[in-house]
Amino acid sequence: MGMSPRTNESAPEKDTDPDTPAPAQEPSESAVAEGAEVIEVTEAADDGRPGKATAEDRPGDALAGGDTSADQPGTTPTAEAVGAGEPGGSASSAAATSRDRTSTAARVPGPRGTGATRPEPARRRVLSFVACAAALAVAFTGGAIALGGRDDGPGVSLSSSGGISAAQLARGDLDSTVRALQAHLKQQPRDFGSWSTLGLAYVEQARTKGDPSRYPQAEKAVERSLELRPDNDQALAARAALAAARHQFEKALKDADRALKVNPYSERALSTRIDALVELGRYDEALKAAKLADSRQPGVPVFTRYAYVHELRGDVKTARRVLKQALATSTAPGDMAYVATQLGQLAWKQGDYKTSLDYYARALAADDTYLPALEGRARAQAASGDTEDAVTGLEQVVSGYPLPGPLVVLGELYEAEGRTTEARDQYALVNAWTSIARANGVNADLDTALAAADHGDKKAALRAARAEWQRRETVHTADALAWALHVNGKDEEALPYARRATATGYQDATFLYHRGMIEYAAGDKKEARARLTAALDLNPGFSPLGAKEARRTLKALKAAEADK
């Protein structure tokens, strides 16, 4: 993206001392800028969707000091054109939104080993559990997990202020960027553009490191930017991204719209608007928003958003085609790793494990520490019957980033092998993560409802699922509520939600499995058989335990029919 570095700097105010601590109830500018001590970290994944865009002719993103300047018209074709099979140009990766590449910064240290001798099982289990618990404890402090990772891809949309080098922008070194901004704002505390950029950087640190203590810092930084320059689009877009990260999607939509009134070409606001509409279940509006963003800011992040909106509508063909074009036009390692991983996930959902593994290999060739690719590869290996390598890979993932998704899969793989004690340890860590997250103001209801339904407190799962459904009605919240109702014996109530989850055409074997099991429990054997068969036809290895249960239930249905 053609970015014209601009600043809005002035000499420090005489009454401002960046090194003087402020009272706890009202942090000074310096305190907000400094935040907690920044440690070299392994950046972790986020459950959000991607979004970044290259620039067309636009009034600018209010760089550094918030001034606007027209970028040169871009030549990147739109996703609409790509969907029609037109050739693509190169995609910029210099600036990304807070949801640019879901899990873009997620890393684990070093490539996965394949020949290491395993320790004695009991000792190994204790060490693994303690290590994961320690990682959880550290992840939610003011610091971060110091695992020596790095990020070759962009993390946030950055101003080219005097405190940030072009090299830092290009490689997207988030922690270096934060330190540079902190130092810069000590000298230039009235640079409103850098305050908004710092706020965005804190949002990214919170999301990628699992550290919600950064959110209040982000809020202070963004509000300081708005105090210095009311209604500047950078800060409004940053506040929208912060709201989305906190799962306050109505607020995110409102702030994104405000930012777009100021600057209709704000890439972050355009992207966050799509995210908010998707997460609110307003899919028709999300498609319109994606097309609008695509017309204004075509590029890799918009392509991936555009693809996901189509995937949610059951249009896998368009999603795949757009993602392939995005990969073909990607040049930065971070973009290549992200898009290849998205293609791997899409192939895995369709049961094409060989293609899935090929894409994960491409992602890891671009970045051999990219956590979503490592996790995706392990899932594909498990589905292909390579359980040993799958377990080894997931053990590596959770040792550095113990979040519910990989913990549950690893626990289910252990359980499928009869390693019930080790499985329980993983599920206990999910509960620990939930407690820590909620204590730090994170809404973890959707993230944990399904885990609790299958491996924890079923009543708590239902409470969480109902609460999330009240906030937003999406295919994912419908599925979570349906399953939570089912495990609590409320199958008749669950059925409408299970049908709602599959109504858009979104192809997810877990959704089909859940609906089939609910229909089976409700006595609709014909529909149950159809749904369970469809789930296994689509993705026969969708879950270590769920796929096994689907086969068992189908066998029982066939036996019952044979006895008639």
Residue 59 contacts residue 265 (beta carbons within 8 Å): yes
pLDDT tens profile 424-476? 999 999 888 778 767 766 677 887 788 899 999 999 999 999 999 999 999 99
Cβ neighbors of 429 (< 8 A, separation 6 or more) are 129, 132, 133, 136, 398, 402, 407
Give whole-number Cα distances, 539 to 73, 372, 480, in Å.
43, 19, 19
Question: Max Cα separation, the chain?
Answer: 90
Per DSSP, which regions of 153-240 are E strands? none
Q: Can you read off the two tokens belonging to residue 469?
A: 């459904």
The mean per-residue pLDDT over the stretch 540-561 comes to: 95
CA distance 240 to 473: 20
The size of the chain, in residues, is: 564
CA distance 178 to 87: 37
Residue 67 pairs in a beta bridge with 63
In the chain the first and final C-alpha atoms are separated, in Å, by: 68
Higher pLDDT, 247 or 138: 247
Lowest mean pLDDT among 110-119, 172-181, 395-404, 546-555: 110-119
Higher pLDDT, 161 or 400: 400
Model confidence at 115: pLDDT above 60:
no
DSSP-H helix ranges across 370-524: 371-383, 387-400, 404-416, 420-439, 445-455, 458-471, 475-487, 491-501, 509-521
The predicted structure's pLDDT at residue 188: 95
Q: Quick check: helix, strand or coil at residue 36?
A: coil
CA distance 343 to 98: 21
Handedness of CA 110, 342, 2, 97 (dihedral sign): negative
The predicted structure's pLDDT at residue 132: 57
Query: Amino acid letter at 469?
Result: W
The predicted structure's pLDDT at residue 563: 78
The predicted structure's pLDDT at residue 532: 98
Q: For residue 492, what pLDDT band results from cuts at 50, 70 and 90? A: very high
The predicted structure's pLDDT at residue 2: 37
Lowest mean pLDDT among 55-59, 185-189, 467-471, 520-524: 55-59
The predicted structure's pLDDT at residue 549: 97
Q: For residue 559, give the H/E element and its range.
A: helix 546-562
CA distance 76 to 511: 36
pLDDT tens profile 294-333? 999 887 878 989 999 999 999 999 999 999 999 999 998 8
Mean pLDDT, rounded, of the chain: 76
pLDDT tens profile 342-378? 999 999 999 999 999 999 999 999 988 888 899 999 9
Phi, psi of 119 (to 5 degrees): -65, 170
In angstroms, how far is CA 476 from the centroid of its own chain? 14
CA distance 384 to 354: 8
Cβ neighbors of 212 (< 8 A, separation 6 or more) are 140, 206, 437, 440, 441, 442
pLDDT tens profile 66-105? 333 333 334 567 777 655 544 333 333 333 333 344 333 3
Classify residue 87 by burial, with Cβ atoms within 10 Å: 0-12, 13-18, 19+. Answer: exposed
Q: For residue 161, what pLDDT band results from cuts at 50, 70 and 90? A: very low
**3-7, 47-51, 163-167, 392-396: which is most confident:** 392-396
The predicted structure's pLDDT at residue 86: 42
Neighbours of 473 (CB within 10 A): 16
Cβ neighbors of 203 (< 8 A, separation 6 or more) are 98, 156, 214, 215, 218, 238, 241, 242, 245
Percent of the chain past pLDDT 90, that is, above it, reads 53
Q: Can you read off the two tokens belonging to residue 42?
A: 């392994």
Q: For residue 168, what pLDDT band results from cuts at 50, 70 and 90? A: very low
Higher pLDDT, 284 or 78: 284
Classify residue 536 by burial, with Cβ atoms within 10 Å: 0-12, 13-18, 19+. Answer: buried
The mean per-residue pLDDT over the stretch 375-400 comes to: 94
Neighbours of 145 (CB within 10 A): 26
The predicted structure's pLDDT at residue 255: 98
The predicted structure's pLDDT at residue 403: 79
How many CA atoms are closer than 13 Å to the CA of 539, on its beta-carbon side?
Answer: 24
Question: Whose CA is closest to 52, among 76, 31, 34?
Answer: 76
Phi, psi of 67 (to 5 degrees): -70, 155
Residue 3 contacts residue 59 (beta carbons within 8 Å): no
pLDDT tens profile 7-42? 333 333 333 333 333 333 444 444 455 544 332 323
Question: Whose CA is closest to 305, among 56, 93, 156, 101?
Answer: 101
In angstroms, how far is CA 253 from the centroid of its own chain? 18
**Residue 244 backbone zone (phi > 0: left; psi -120 to 50: alpha; other: beta):** alpha
